[in-house]
Amino acid sequence: MIKRMVIMLIVIGLILGGIFGFQAFKNRMIAAYLANLKSPPQTVSTITAATSPWQTTLQSVGSFNAVEGANLSAQVPGIVQKIGFEDGQDVKKGDLIVQLLADQQISTLQQYQASAANAQIAVDRDSKLIKANTIAQSQVDSDLANLKAAQAQVSSQQALIDQYSIRAPFDGHLGIKLVSLGEYLAPGTAVVTLQSLDPIQFDFSMPQQALSQLKVGQAVTATLDAYGTQTFDGKISAISPLVDTQSRNLTIRATFANPDRKLLPGMFGNITVVVGEPKSYVSLPQTAVTINPYGNVVYIVTDKGKTADGKPQLVANQKFVSTGQARGDQIAVTKGLDAGEVVVTSGQLKLNNGSPVIINNDVQPSNDPNANPANPN
């Protein structure tokens, strides 16, 4: 009985030993395989980092408005007797825009003028008589008072008649007429818009932190979707002394020369304010920089020499960098990268630290510093 028990235990021990031995052997073989297993090289595009001059700028958006602009309207009710302009015409200050029918008011003026003339005759006559002491001084004083009252009536009536003539309050460019001959106009009815177009203003906002970088006379550049990449140069003409208590922004006004009238009031645009002197930074395509919660990362390609078969052995490694402003397709690297280092510009999503790579630069991401987003319209 004991002998059988011993034999059984020996058999069980041999079986368990075989199992554990096989498992240990398998683990050693797997470890050896993994140790010799290498990731296949990933194909990437690269660029050699280089420095370029960067002009620090502030960006904002805003809209153009006329230095002088108004919708001309009637002050008094009346019927349109004459239209003195054509659509889109240039006018000078004082030019007649619309004349309202004022026959009754003119008749009243003539009546007042006759009364004033009669009062003048009385004053002239009594001024001679007072010298001969044939009338009292009070009569002369009364005549003078009547003359002044009559002249005041004439002036008042003339001012009323002038309100029936709508005239240009400043030099400018007229829009499209909104009235017709014979039409009755109520007070305040707009007849046409008048805008001065050269120069023209551009209003935009900046956070209060930018105030120390702004000053009157500073150069600005504006772009509009209507004109693609064309730029318009202007200067800051005024800075509001009041900061908005809700947004903590302040309003800036720039002035642009507009001789060809490409810029119109109400147009929306982007504006760039030039700040300080140009500086040199390493510039990369924006696609080369990967943003993650730990910071901005680029992949640097280094040459590890030759492989056993004589091929170059290139490896990509992560490098944390600090970035600055962007312009077009480029971004400035302010810290962490030196000129001359080879940086991966595309394909980095497939990489890890130490990944072998193959460089193929037949297709490169855009690296235009003046690129603008395509206009969907």
pLDDT in tens, 327-355: 778 888 888 888 888 999 888 888 888 88
Cβ neighbour number for residue 1 with a 10 Å cutoff: 5
323 or 12: which carries more pLDDT confidence? 323
Cα dihedral sign, 62-225-56-254? negative
User: Could you tell me which residue, 140 or 64, shows the higher pLDDT?
Assistant: 64
Query: Is residue 66's pLDDT more than 60?
Result: yes
Distance of alpha carbon 200 from alpha carbon 60, whole angstroms: 18
Mean pLDDT in residue range 210-216: 88
- Mean pLDDT lowest among 18-32, 56-70, 198-212, 348-362: 18-32
Q: State residue 376's pLDDT score.
A: 41
Biggest CA–CA distance in the chain, Å, is 176
Which of 29-43, 167-181, 199-213 is the least confident region?
Answer: 29-43
**pLDDT on residue 377:** 41
Average pLDDT in the 57-80 region? 89
Q: Which of 252-256, 315-319, 366-370 has the lowest mean pLDDT?
A: 366-370
Residues 258 and 265 sit within 8 Å (Cβ to Cβ): no
Q: Coil, helix or strand for 369?
A: coil
Residue 308's alpha-carbon distances to 305, 358, 359, in angstroms, are 10, 16, 19
Does the pLDDT at position 253 exceed 90?
Answer: yes
Which pLDDT band, with edges at 50, 70 and 90, does 38 fall under?
Answer: low
Secondary-structure breakdown of the chain: helix, strand, coil percentages, each rounded to the nearest 5:
30, 40, 35
> Taking a C-beta distance cutoff of 8 angstroms, is the pair 98, 80 a contact?
yes
pLDDT value of position 375: 44
What is the structure's pLDDT at 41?
A: 81
In DSSP notation, 234-281 reads: EEEEEEEEEE-TTT-EEEEEEEE--TT----TT-EEEEEEE-S--EEE
Determine the pLDDT at residue 268.
92
> Closest Cα to residue 165, out of 111, 94, 109, 87?
94
The pLDDT > 90 percentage for the chain reads 15
DSSP secondary structure letters along 68-127: SEEEEE-SS-EEEEEE---TT-EE-TT-EEEEE--HHHHHHHHHHHHHHHHHHHHHHHHH
% of the chain surpassing 70 pLDDT: 90
Task: Look at the block and give the residue holding tokens 């992949």.
Answer: 299
Q: Is 282 exposed, middle or buried (0-12, 13-18, 19+ CB in 10 A)?
A: buried
Q: What is the pLDDT of residues 86-131, one digit of tens each?
A: 898 889 998 998 989 888 888 888 888 888 888 788 777 767 776 6
Cβ-based burial of 373 (10 A; exposed 0-12, middle 13-18, buried ≥19): exposed
Contact 172, 196 (CB under 8 A): yes
Which pLDDT tens digit goes with each residue over 157-170?
A: 888 888 888 899 99
- pLDDT (average), residues 27-35: 63
The kind and range of the H/E element at 371 are: none
- At 210, is the pLDDT very low, low, confident or very high (cuts 50, 70, 90)? confident
Alpha carbon 249 to chain centroid distance?
Answer: 14
* Domains of the chain: residue spans and CATH: 42-53+279-359 (2.40.420.20), 58-67+196-274 (2.40.30.170), 69-195 (2.40.50.100)
φ/ψ of residue 256, rounded to 5? -125, 135
Instruction: Extract the tokens encoding 171.
Output: 């030099």
- Predicted pLDDT at 372: 59
Per-residue model confidence (pLDDT) at position 374: 46
**Statement: residue 271 has pLDDT above 80:** yes
Lowest mean pLDDT among 22-31, 231-240, 355-364: 22-31
CA distance 178 to 175: 9
Would you state the pLDDT for residue 205?
A: 92
Distances (CA, A) of 61 to 86, 251, 267, 314, 325: 34, 11, 11, 45, 17
Over residues 281-302, the mean pLDDT reads 86
Q: How much is the average pLDDT of 237-243?
A: 90
